[in-house]
Amino acid sequence: MKKSERPSAGWKREADAPSLREVHKSMAVPKTGSSFRKLLAFMGPGYLVAVGYMDPGNWATSLAGGSAYNYALLYVILISNIMAILLQGLAAKLGIATGRDLAQACRDAFSKPVGILLWIMCELAIAACDLAEVIGAAIALNLLFNIPLVWGVCITALDILLILLLQSKGFRYIEVFVIVLITTIALCFAAELILSTPDLKEIAGGFIPDRQIIENPQMLFIALGILGATVMPHNLYLHSSIVQTRNFENTPAGKKEAIRFSFIDSTVALMLALFVNAGILILAASAFYQHGHTEVAEIQDAFKLLGPVLGTGAASILFGVALLASGQNSTLTGTLAGQIVMEGFLNIRLSPWLRRLITRMIAIIPAVIVTLLYGEKGTNDLLILSQVILSMQLSFAVIPLVMFTSDKRKMGQFVNSLPLKIAAWAVAAVIAILNAYLLFSTFFK
């Protein structure tokens, strides 16, 4: 490879020390053996990423879409998932090909003021995402065990100890824990769907685009909410870093193999996220829309209605368990993302426990204040606000990602092909337009 084609040739400075240094290249990749054995070594990061696509912040939009419009918005979830697969694939490729995560790439490519602005916006997005998870877990604890919301919010702070314990044993322990929780969520919704007996023919029809979305402004608004809240900006930073936990060969062939296996890993994991998100909407359609409850948009309402509608209290319990697993899962990845962006944008290294404590306090303090002042209604409004903040940040992560992976000077032989460039920029444009419309509709409707 010529010097001008090396991935490092287009960067202003040599790569900083990797983020998450304590686990960087800590997981062995077999040099020989079957492709399946090698694939297993790369399986894991995709599931940490998939967590962000099924967090409590997404539940409200899926519940609202299913209860109000039956199965008609399933194709919106499918389109969102396809977009997510493409973007996460680019994030993994950036990390593997260049040895830089997205935050480090932004720090290198942009001026210091722009980099600091992007860091502040990213921290706000992570705090907003963590806020949604804190509230989701607190609501689940309240629904399942009747623990007051404010105490539920405080209890979520204890998972910092869990994260530190797992990471001290090795990054694979965190991945296994996340996969167990994701499996729990999927099994809960699979059982819910069996209890609700949805119409399979109508489900299939829901994956076909319908023109009524253009004719119905409220339906369009919910669809934009699903699209806008699906791709989480912090996931792009997270994925570009944690793929570097694998000790693949630092050669063009080794990187090419790592990119391929990492793409398979994230695609399989995101298909599981598709099942969960579609499952929430299908459950809302079959349990609520079909029984005349067309305005169920809040998690608490769904929990209370599921038992009576489906004729068994187990339905509500399964829903609550899935919500608790979802909230707990997402806090793990949010705190990791917080460490990555601080180290990447500012090159500041804090102790992992201190970084995670800061991230969690930023989410817990406003949640406690709002819960004390406004109760259940306030937490739901805060959940909506968190999704608006995430929407505002998304394009500031997606556009640099597409820019970097489409630049041959930065990526060398791993640069996006022309068709991939066109697809990536089209996705970036769609996300920017839809989120701008969603924000405008939220504040000026």
Q: Please write the tens of the pLDDT for every residue from 213-233.
A: 777 878 887 887 777 666 778
- For residue 432, give its domain range: 22-396+416-444
45 vs 178: CA distance, rounded Å: 10
The pLDDT assigned to 93 comes to 98
346-381: per-residue pLDDT in tens? 887 777 677 667 766 766 777 677 777 766 666 666
- Do 278 and 72 touch, CB atoms closer than 8 A? no
The pLDDT assigned to 232 comes to 78
Q: Is residue 73 part of a domain?
A: yes
Which pLDDT band, with edges at 50, 70 and 90, does 385 fall under?
Answer: low
Q: Is residue 51 part of a domain?
A: yes
The pLDDT assigned to 160 comes to 63
Q: Is residue 256 part of a domain?
A: yes
25-67: per-residue pLDDT in tens? 989 999 888 889 999 999 999 999 998 788 776 787 788 889 9
Q: Is residue 5 part of a domain?
A: no
Which token pair is 286? Answer: 């079959």
Q: Is residue 11 part of a domain?
A: no
Residue 246 bridge partners (DSSP): 27
Handedness of CA 266, 270, 80, 438 (dihedral sign): negative
Query: Region 256-277: what's the mean pLDDT?
Result: 95
The pLDDT assigned to 291 comes to 87
Which pLDDT band, with edges at 50, 70 and 90, does 5 fall under?
Answer: very low
pLDDT of 9 strictly over 70:
no
Q: Is residue 403 part of a domain?
A: no
- Do 209 and 298 touch, CB atoms closer than 8 A? no
Return the SS3 of 247. Answer: strand
Query: Region 302-318: what's the mean pLDDT?
Result: 90
User: How many domains would you assign to the chain?
Assistant: 1
404-429: per-residue pLDDT in tens? 999 999 999 999 999 999 999 999 99
Q: How many residues does the chain have?
A: 445
Check which CATH number belongs to the domain holding 150 and give it: 1.20.1740.10
The pLDDT assigned to 376 comes to 63
- Provide the percentage of residues in the chain whose pLDDT is more than 70: 88
Residue 76 or residue 360, greater confidence: 76
Which pLDDT band, with edges at 50, 70 and 90, does 191 fall under?
Answer: very high
Q: Is residue 241 part of a domain?
A: yes
The pLDDT assigned to 71 comes to 94
Which residues, 6+ apart, have CB-to-CB distance to 182 below 8 Å?
Answer: 47, 50, 51, 54, 269, 272, 276, 325, 329
337 vs 404: CA distance, rounded Å: 20
177-186: per-residue pLDDT in tens? 889 989 999 9
Pick from 17-26, 168-177, 237-246, 392-401 the range whose average pLDDT is largest. 237-246
pTM of the model: 0.89
79-113: per-residue pLDDT in tens? 989 999 999 999 999 999 999 999 999 999 999 89
Query: Region 248-277: what's the mean pLDDT?
Result: 94
- Rounded mean pLDDT of the chain? 85
Return the SS3 of 34. Answer: coil
Q: Is residue 407 part of a domain?
A: no
The pLDDT assigned to 88 comes to 96
pLDDT of 390 strictly over 60:
yes
| Amino acid code (one letter) for 320 | G
